[in-house]
Amino acid sequence: MHIQIAAVGKLKEKYLVLGIAEYAKRLGPYVKLTLTEVPDERAPETMSAAEEAMVREREGERLLSVIKPDAHVIALALDGELWSSEDLAGQLDSLATYGRSHVAFVIGGSNGLAPAVMKRAQQKLSFGRMTLPHQLMRLVLLEQVYRAVKINRGEPYHK
């Protein structure tokens, strides 16, 4: 299975870089993992609704440009479905079983995801109603993907 995490912005914090590297290493024997960063759009701290929409649109175009046409896209969104770790494992197993072996998880920037990205997504996933920094979300998602792989293989880790 090929798992892609496409995200807006460059990771800067060393602890996040190290954590992501650790889970990428752990996933290495099980999946092909691609971590794709697209540049965030420079914008002032305070923006009008139109400016926020423009930022989302530009970042969305960048995200869509790095996702292959055959990818099954799962967008991370506050209004997405709430899955347990076992639900995620089941989703990944089902996708692999039915020939959708390229799964792209998409994480937007601080202003969220563009409507075009949401339209491209086959599923929306939420990690809860709390807002998490998009950079931290990469680490949380990667840990959950690793947990899902271990669950699907019947190997210890997930308890």
Q: What phi and psi, each to the nearest 5 degrees, are found at residue 106?
A: -120, 125
Is 127 annotated for ligand binding?
yes
> Exposed, middle or buried: residue 48 (CB in 10 Å: 0-12, 13-18, 19+)?
exposed
Is 118 annotated for ligand binding?
no
Query: Quick one: which of 75, 146, 69, 158 has its CA closest to 117?
Result: 75
Is 46 annotated for ligand binding?
no
Is 9 annotated for ligand binding?
no
Q: What phi and psi, each to the nearest 5 degrees, are found at residue 138?
A: -60, -45
Is 129 annotated for ligand binding?
yes
Is 105 annotated for ligand binding?
no
Is 130 annotated for ligand binding?
yes
Query: Quick one: which of 111, 117, 102, 124 has its CA closest to 60?
Result: 117
Binding site listing for S-adenosyl-L-methionine: 76, 108, 127-132
Per the annotation, binding residues are 76, 108, 127-132
